[in-house]
Amino acid sequence: MATIINPKISAQKSSASGNSWEITVEYDATFSAYELNQANFTYRDGFVLMEDDDFFDDQLTGVVGVSVFNPTKSPTHRTMRARIDGETLDTELGQEELFAVVRLRNLDLNFLHQTVASPVMTLSP
């Protein structure tokens, strides 16, 4: 079964005018020999951007950075990007503690394999 490992998140202020940020999420996905060679499954990945709070984490976006792929090796390194407005990221005074929840779905089986949270990143939008 496909597995998400080593999720990472980073952000860079967009070079375009205004207050927008490019959020990059990377991870490795591992696949069984059956998934790679015999079934030749198609997968869709994406991420949800969250704010880390003491009691209830806030969901800042829907699923973004979505792409579809057919893995040919295991592990497969994946990179997803989404441009997010600074107003969306700025939810409280001071720095924000953000993380991404990576989602990996087998499209052929319509099965959500796993959701895994990245480490928390600090950002001042």
Per-residue model confidence as pLDDT tens digits over 29-80:
999 999 998 888 999 999 999 998 877 888 999 999 999 999 999 999 999 9
The rounded distance, in Å, linking the Cα atoms of 51 and 73 is 33
**For residue 118, pLDDT beyond 70:** yes
Share of the chain above pLDDT 70, in %: 96
In the prediction, which pLDDT does 124 show? 78
